[in-house]
Amino acid sequence: MRNARFSALFGLALLACDQGAPAPAPSASASAVSSAAAKPSGAKTPPPEAIDAARDGARRLTGEILVAGQATKTLTELTDFAGPRLTGSDVHARAAGWAAERFRSYGVDATLEPFTLDHTWVRGEARAKMVAPREQVLRVAAIGWTPGTPAEGVRGEVVKVDDLSPDAVAKRTDLKGKIAFYDAAAGRKAGWTAHPPYRLAQAGAAAVVIHWARPFNALFGTACKGPKEAACSVPVFVMGSEDGAVVARLADAGPVTLDLASTASVGGPAQVPNVVAEIRGGEAADEMVVVGAHLDSWDLATGAQDNGSGSAQVLEAARAIRALGTPPRRTIRFVLWAGEEEGLLGSRAYVKAHAAELDRVVAYLNTDLGAGAPVGWDADGRDDLVDAMKPVAKSLLAGLGADVVHAKIRCDTDHCPFWLEGIPTLNLDVDASAYEDIHHLASDTVDKVKDHPLADGAAAVAVTAWAIAQLPERIAPRIGHAAIGKHLKGADVLPMLIESGMWKP
Ligand SMILES: [Zn+2]
């Protein structure tokens, strides 16, 4: 699970490739929150009778999803039939239109809310061949938002780089015209702000190969990482585990020469859609619970668990809540984000565009950790939210095995822009023990998803959204900039949040 989270964090840090996407100013509206709400622990535990009042709805939602559910059918349509949903691609746009239609088919209003993606990217074809000391075809994929090679490719000697700290890379004089080769683990060890491909290109490398050690030569989908616009100016490739290990061993023994070719290309700006759907509330319709998951995926597979599963759960929650026939007390809004994999672009754009109504968002629920059995909710450092949620979870989610509530700060997916605005956020926590086997890999396909835990997760999302929408009081207050800063103090995500412009201390 820790690895899954680290990879997700790494994915978020890859913000160079959003190449100038507008960063929200989290402090602006959060600081407008009243000083009373600026206390980090202002939540009151909901009274038992308030939780009891949500029980009938919870029982019917669980029955609707577990007995008459469509989660697997929806996921299969989204993955096998729609396909890999790279942000800015035609497939993603079609999938967004399909999802909006699906919401409408449940009787839930849905619209597409476009935002500007500064650059599109087309993967094209990538190939690699070792030509010395012997010949071997090697498995590679281009890294997202990196350019292709010249038509004739790039031929160069491999130079292994173990120390990827910025100082060490800057001192190297042996990279000019060469193919820099490093292990992804060494890249992570160098820290958030190291940006190895960017600095290796600055040092003269003609191309970069990242040995991304995942089993059976599976290739990892990710975006280039750098501190500023167009940071990754040379072709960058991932190489599979076994092929990369061969290259590494031979390079230790003597010169290794590779031929690399890629037809990847970075394009101009495009409008890409978030899908926004809503079930209008009853007596407290002005307040809302927002439930979200990212619809976009990496394109080496169909993104069944990252994040077709979360998308199917959000759709299923909307279907079941609508099927109750009674409006929730508060409005429930459902959003399927674009651009998560390129740096939370869709949720950041939404928070910016909807800044004026964020005071009315009582909670944001997110599901993006795969299709494992649900365990409960992560409240990202908000102990007051943990305390308030515990009796709700014990009472309504224990039967789904989803009653653990904890407060580890992650800020690694689409809840983060909401969290940085002081809104109470909950991330669905699941058994992620098998997640790394498929995460961002060509093997992330629907056959790895089991019906029952997928549906249990959908039920946990639906029941929690319903319960929070029904409570007489907000589950927890919106907190101000100073209180958020207190939570972030010492958090390992802080350098990344500052560098990406998501957090201004
Ligand atoms: Zn994801």
Is residue 46 a contact partner of residue 388, using CB atoms and an 8 Å limit?
yes
Cα 82 from chain centre: 19
Q: Ligand 1 centre and the CA of 71: distance in Å?
A: 18
Q: Ligand 1 centre and the CA of 308: distance in Å?
A: 9
C-alpha atoms less than 13 angstroms from C-alpha of 273 in its C-beta half-sphere: 18
Render 279-333 in DSSP notation, one character per residue. Answer: E--STEEEEEEEEEEE----SSS--IIIIIHHHHHHHHHHHHHHHT-S--SEEEE
- Give the bridge partners for 138, in sequence order: 128
Q: Ligand 1 centre and the CA of 368: distance in Å?
A: 5
Nearest to 367 by CA among 459, 494, 441: 459
- Give the bridge partners for 210, in sequence order: 182, 238
Stated as kind and residue range, the H or E segment containing 399 is none
Q: Ligand 1 centre and the CA of 413: distance in Å?
A: 7
Q: Ligand 1 centre and the CA of 471: distance in Å?
A: 29
Q: Ligand 1 centre and the CA of 217: distance in Å?
A: 22
Q: Ligand 1 centre and the CA of 155: distance in Å?
A: 35
Nearest to 473 by CA among 202, 338, 345, 287: 287
Render 170-238 in DSSP notation, one character per residue. Answer: HH--S-TTSEEEEEHHHHHHT-TT--HHHHHHHTT-SEEEEE---GGGPPBP-B---SSTT---S-EEE
Q: Ligand 1 centre and the CA of 16: distance in Å?
A: 18
Q: Ligand 1 centre and the CA of 306: distance in Å?
A: 4
Is residue 341 a contact partner of residue 487, using CB atoms and an 8 Å limit?
no
Q: Ligand 1 centre and the CA of 421: distance in Å?
A: 21
Q: What is the pLDDT of residue 224?
A: 82
Q: What is the pLDDT of residue 58?
A: 97
Mapping DSSP onto H, E and C, the string for 224-282 reads CCCCCCCCCCCCEEEECHHHHHHHHHHHHHCCCEEEEEECCEECCCEEEEEEEEEECCC
Q: Ligand 1 centre and the CA of 446: distance in Å?
A: 15
Give me 268's structure tokens: 């101009």
Mapping DSSP onto H, E and C, the string for 20-88 reads CCCCCCHHHHHCCCCHHHHCCCCCCCCCHHHHHHCHHHHHHHHHHHHHCCCHHHHHHHHHHHHCCCCCC
Taking the whole predicted model, whether its pTM rises above 0.75 is answered as yes
Largest CA distance in the chain: 74
Q: Ligand 1 centre and the CA of 8: distance in Å?
A: 7
Nearest to 276 by CA among 89, 100, 436, 121: 100
Q: Ligand 1 centre and the CA of 440: distance in Å?
A: 9
Q: Strand 179-183 and strand 109-117: pairing?
A: unpaired
CA distance 198 to 212: 17
Q: Ligand 1 centre and the CA of 163: distance in Å?
A: 29
Q: Ligand 1 centre and the CA of 221: distance in Å?
A: 12
Instruction: Give the pLDDT of the chain (505 residues) as one tens digit per residue.
Output: 333 333 333 333 333 222 222 233 333 333 333 333 334 456 778 999 999 899 999 999 999 999 999 999 999 999 999 999 999 999 999 999 999 999 999 999 999 999 999 999 999 999 999 999 999 999 999 999 999 999 999 999 999 999 999 999 999 999 999 999 999 999 889 887 888 999 999 999 999 999 998 888 999 998 886 665 556 889 999 999 999 999 999 999 999 999 999 999 999 999 999 999 999 999 999 999 999 999 999 999 999 999 999 999 999 999 999 999 999 999 999 999 999 999 999 999 999 999 999 999 999 999 999 999 999 999 999 999 999 999 999 999 999 999 999 998 888 899 999 999 999 999 999 999 999 889 999 899 999 999 999 999 999 999 999 999 999 999 999 999 999 999 999 888 898 899 888 999 9
